[in-house]
Structure 1
Amino acid sequence: MSLETDVLALAVEIAREAGELAHRRRSEGVAIAATKSAVADIVTEADREVEALIRDRLAAARPGDGFLGEESGAAGGTTDVTWVVDPIDGTVNYAYGLPTYAVSVAAVAGDPDPGTWTALAGAVFAPGLGELFTAARGEGARLGGRRLAVASEVGAAGALVATGFGYDPATHAGDLERLARVMPLARDIRRIGAASVDLCYVAAGRLDAYFERGINPWDHAAGGLIVQEAGGLIGGLSGGPPSREMTIAAPPALFEAIERALTA
């Protein structure tokens, strides 16, 4: 068994268990634990509990690996593998009872830096939707047992494009201005509210493209590999990696068109 296959199996197992815990806690009611970057940027008690479960399971299965999680931060390891985790991506959706939230678990080789890491495997489990998206490097991307592929072409009506907006009101004008630049390429816009789900939808051809400012490594580590293994591109501006400045995911030709629009 290859390293990619081994860590994918573990990612799937843990993402499922963590997602079931998150789903159970949602049915019991959500308690807001804190806010982060802005009043609207919330953390629930379930976020922390789910990340603790993931971290404990990974430590038991692969004690030498590093870890980078949204809620508990980074810890170095003695191997070349780091796990990059978002325990509940789409926390506001989760708090409001919307089903579009997900557990995102990825294994990467090298430092936990999107500019230098090699993504090995990723699992995105959306328990409210009952869907599990997976990928291993060189093995393709799947939804359950079905092989995924990004959209093959964009029709004359334009692309179905997803985006998001930051929690800080001071950033909204800039986000809207960037959206206006992309609109000539779009037939319509979707705002799903969970980056990992957006990325998986691009991989599945449910969306033609996705772009957003303010995305963190744990938001795209698993979903980005799923896009790549489905034949798409994920990156930032001017040939750079995905970053808080900008993350774009799309089939190659549309990726280039969106990047040009955002840098014009």
Structure 2
Amino acid sequence: MSRPLVIGPPPADAEALLGTAERAARAAGAMLLERFAGGADAIGQVYSKSTSTDLVSEADMAAERAIRAILAEERPDDAVMGEEGDDTPGTSGRRWIVDPLDGTINYLYGLSAWCVSVACEGLAGVVFDPLSGELFASPVTAGAPATCNGAPIAGRGVSELGQSLLGTGFGYDREIRAAQAPIVAGLLPEVRDVRRIGSAALDLAWCASGRLDAYYEFGVKPWDIAAGVLLCAASGLEVHELAGGPVLPSGILVAPPAIAGELVARVEPPDSAAPDVRSEPTSP
């Protein structure tokens, strides 16, 4: 069964943590934007990861190096988990979880839905969209909203599943996609419509800002969601960990309270037990 993800109030140094996150995200974003404008030659070599369709580029890796350099300078005692690099241990008890380029396939195809996600786990985080210049940030004080470029944001708060614009994503493995297909097919007649953006971090930021009503995805990694779940929780949305099944890995769901339980029941495999996606690595 799913369980709600409980996120505590921002720490006393949330503003400082967000400052570091923003500087790191903007440094990576500037590099990615320059390469994006330069096309394939600037993006550099592209490699396969988990499957032949799961790709990483030299731009991804360069962006992560830029993030890690700022974290090493400003937060040298903190641990770091990044999508493209080795985990770095720390002594402070805090861990940064970073996705230097969420939406790599979009980026490589010249599509605009890609971003940078930088979070101090469970405490503070930002999602930065270099093309639009939008920076989504978690609150700095308890009870405050998440923001986009400093302006408060909030989820739309629909009260009926049939009125919801739903975001989702799919894995790279063929068997996982085959298991995901009947779930979204069953939901499609029951919701306003479905969007597949191709960036989990943007899906979450857009839920937090009311551009989507709800979102779910199986197979997300900690770096996909570490900043986004903080944004959603601060924007009045429920955040649920989704249990997987025999084929499906664990996942995440965010939705307004009025429809969260119904949506969980429709997407989660029966007789499943939810692992903790916050600390256990599990699509772009």
The verdict on a shared fold, with TM-score over 0.5 as the criterion, is yes
Name 2:36's counterpart in structure 1: 26
Q: Distance in 2 between matches of 1:233 and 1:59?
A: 33
Are the aligned partners of 1:40 and 1:167 in contact in 2 as well (CA < 8 Å)? Answer: yes
| 2:103 pairs with 1:90 | yes
Deviation at 1:156, TM superposition (A): 8.0
Q: Distance in 2 between matches of 1:181 and 1:248?
A: 16
Q: Distance in 2 between matches of 1:210 and 1:190?
A: 9
| 2:196 pairs with 1:191 | yes
5 Å matches for 1:112-123? 119-123=122-126
Give, as a single letter, the amino acid of the residue that structure 2 aligns with 1:71. E
Ranges in structure 2 where 5+ consecutive residues have no aligned partner: 1-10, 271-284
* Farther off after superposition, 175-184 or 127-136: 175-184
**Structure number having the greater strand percentage:** 1
| 2:210 pairs with 1:200 | no
Q: Distance in 2 between matches of 1:154 and 1:210?
A: 15
| 2:81 pairs with 1:77 | no
Name 1:167's counterpart in structure 2: 172
Give, as a single letter, the amino acid of the residue that structure 1 aligns with 2:205. C
SS at match of 2:123: strand
| 2:145 pairs with 1:140 | yes
Give, as a single letter, the amino acid of the residue that structure 2 aligns with 1:25. R
Q: Distance in 1 between matches of 2:207 and 2:146?
A: 11
Are the aligned partners of 2:104 and 2:114 in contact in 1 as well (CA < 8 Å)? Answer: yes
Are the aligned partners of 1:150 and 1:204 in contact in 2 as well (CA < 8 Å)? Answer: yes
Deviation at 1:81, TM superposition (A): 1.2
SS at match of 2:30: helix
Q: Distance in 1 between matches of 2:107 and 2:251?
A: 24
* Farther off after superposition, 144-153 or 98-107: 144-153
Give, as a single letter, the amino acid of the residue that structure 2 aligns with 1:258. L
Q: How many residues are paired up?
A: 250
Q: Distance in 2 between matches of 1:188 and 1:176?
A: 15
Name 1:111's counterpart in structure 2: none
| 2:137 pairs with 1:129 | no
Deviation at 1:178, TM superposition (A): 1.4
* Farther off after superposition, 164-173 or 87-96: 164-173
Deviation at 1:136, TM superposition (A): 3.1
Q: Distance in 1 between matches of 2:264 and 2:185?
A: 13
SS at match of 2:165: strand
SS at match of 1:103: strand
Give, as a single letter, the amino acid of the residue that structure 1 aligns with 2:98. V
Distance of aligned partners of 1:32 and 1:166 in 2 relative to their CA distance in 1, 3 Å threshold? farther
Deviation at 1:88, TM superposition (A): 0.1
Are the aligned partners of 1:201 and 1:207 in contact in 2 as well (CA < 8 Å)? Answer: yes
Percent identity for Structure 1 against Structure 2 = 39
> Per-residue CA shift, 1:108-148, capped at 9, x if unaligned?
2xxxxxxxxxx111110011222110003633200112111
Name 2:71's counterpart in structure 1: 58
* Farther off after superposition, 38-47 or 72-81: 72-81
Of the two structures, which has the highest relative contact order with CA contacts closer than 8 Å and spacing of 6 or more?
2
Are the aligned partners of 1:159 and 1:185 in contact in 2 as well (CA < 8 Å)? Answer: no
SS at match of 2:236: coil
TM-score normalized with structure 2 length: 0.83
Q: Distance in 1 between matches of 2:133 and 2:167?
A: 21
Give, as a single letter, the amino acid of the residue that structure 1 aligns with 2:114. Y
**Pairwise CA RMSD of aligned residues?**
1.8
* Farther off after superposition, 37-46 or 145-154: 145-154
SS at match of 1:136: coil
| 2:259 pairs with 1:224 | no
5 Å matches for 1:211-250? 211-237=216-242, 244-250=249-255
Are the aligned partners of 2:160 and 2:258 in contact in 1 as well (CA < 8 Å)? Answer: no
* Farther off after superposition, 150-159 or 41-50: 150-159
